Amino acid sequence: MTPAPTHDRPAWAEAFSAGPRRLAAGLALIAVAPVVVLVCAGYQLAAFDDETAYHELLWAIPLLTVAAVAGIVAVRLWSHPDEWLRRRAMVAVGVLAAVVVVWFVLLTTARLAPYWTTTLLCVPSTLFGLVLMRRAERNRRVSWLLLAAPFLWGACVATQSALATADLRNLVVTRLVTPGTAFMYVDNVVTAVNEEGLKALGVLAVLVVFGSRINGVLGGLVTGAVVGIGFQFTESVLYMAGGDSEEMLYQFWTRQYAGLFASHLVYTGIAGACLGLAFHYRGALARVLCAGAGFLAAVTAHAAWNVAVSVGLTWRPDSSALLIFVAQPVNAFVFHSPSIVLFCALVIGAQRYELRGLRRGLHTEASVGLGAIRPGEVPVLSSASARFRLRLRLLARRDLRRYRHVRALHEAQLELAYVHWHRAHTGGGDGAESRLRRRILRLRLLGLVATPAPAGTTVSRQAPLPPAVSRQESPA
């Protein structure tokens, strides 16, 4: 029996199908950034009559107005009995929240526009970092469209907010600490807390809003790392633009190559992994402790590096070439080695944890007996290398049609296994399961795709493909 046609939504649409509470929480987190800018700009305008602060107030107040309107719409319409109005309210709130982020993007673009050459220099290494972190998710990768959300937060929202808080942060530290060695230590720690807090805020907002697609320890880690890459991108351009050619080369090599995987990527990745883990706990205390531990680790690693550079603990030879190409990689490795080891351990542990959950989900669906996942397919589906070898063989045979069908089938089957796994933590998911089963059955009928079992594995004959269709459409 041919399944009823289904209109599958793209991954970004599925990810944005957050409930009212999650979307409202994400809106509140996003609104924190313009609030921070508004407070700091108000101080600068009152204390120094700063023209820049005046312009910041001009755009911070409208952004807060937009966020307030979105909140009013949410409160008034999400409790409305008409489902059509509730859905339109969710769309409206999502658009208004996007307006806040887009405004930060425009501000960052205007700030970086005069330095377009240095901006282009930082693009290749930034793309390399994004590709590498995306590939860390071996079984279910986030789409590039969804990956843009944490990157834009780090590159635009977090950096603009950090720049806006600089003067107020310096005032607080100056009032509380006497200038000297203690002032230097405290200033570096406060800077780390400020920047890591703004970045972690974006990670939390992404995990809350896109929780149906980006979740778990590995999802939080990759999200945090992408936020860090975005922050480092804008920071690198601004530092490179502030000096001569030798200073530009130093900042470029240090921040975009020698320190790309030993700086903000690592700090926020650690915090993001702990935030992702916190979502798996049900108790509020356990969640707070888990998220707090990750934030503390990120701040400690960040502050330790800042203090080492400020105090002069790093190796700085007289030769410029030796300093740039030898000393800086050595310094980054020595002072970041604890955080790098922790980050790598979190990546490996998160991948193994995800694989165990994936296998449980595959076996759960295979035991149902509806044919979406067959017992003989589980060994291949649970192995990223086996799936890669299978697709490589199809490409070697130039069987692009079957390659596309196999890839689509694998993605749908893995998504179904993830639904089973995450339902154990969050509950629900029956609608998603039915939709994914229909999609898998449709792929089997259209492409006659069955995941071949590895050599030596007994393949179950459960739910065989229709022989009539097989004779007509089986590829040569």
Whether the pLDDT of residue 454 is over 60: the answer is: no
What's the rounded Cα separation, in Å, for the pair 165 and 156?
14
| pLDDT, tens digit, 9 for 90 and up, residues 173-185 | 888 887 777 888 8
Whether the pLDDT of residue 113 is over 90: the answer is: no
Whether the pLDDT of residue 403 is over 70: the answer is: yes
Residue 237, SS3 per DSSP = helix
Instruction: Name the pLDDT band for 78 (thresholds 50, 70, 90).
Output: low
What's the rounded Cα separation, in Å, for the pair 359 and 379?
9
Nearest partner of 150 among 125, 135, 163, 133, judged by Cα? 133
Whether the pLDDT of residue 87 is over 50: the answer is: yes
Give the model's pLDDT for residue 3: 38
Mean of pLDDT values over 339-361: 91
| pLDDT, tens digit, 9 for 90 and up, residues 243-300 | 777 888 888 888 888 888 889 999 999 999 999 999 888 888 999 999 999 999 999 9
**In this structure, what DSSP letter does residue 326 have?**
I
Backbone angles phi, psi at 280, to 5 degrees: -85, -10
Question: Which amino acid is located at 36 in the chain?
Answer: V
Nearest partner of 129 among 14, 241, 6, 255, judged by Cα? 255
Mean of pLDDT values over 332-356: 91
Whether the pLDDT of residue 74 is over 70: the answer is: no
pTM, full prediction? 0.84
Please compute, for residue 411, the number of CA atoms within 13 A of its CA located in the half-sphere on the CB side: 16
Where are the alpha helices (H) located in 180-283, listed in sequence order? 181-209, 216-241, 245-253, 264-278
Instruction: Name the pLDDT band for 311 (thresholds 50, 70, 90).
Output: confident
Nearest partner of 370 among 462, 442, 432, 465, judged by Cα? 462
User: Pick the residue with more confidence: 464 or 313?
Assistant: 313
In terms of Cβ atoms closer than 10 Å to its own Cβ (0-12, 13-18, 19+), residue 398 is exposed
Mean per-residue pLDDT over the chain, rounded:
80
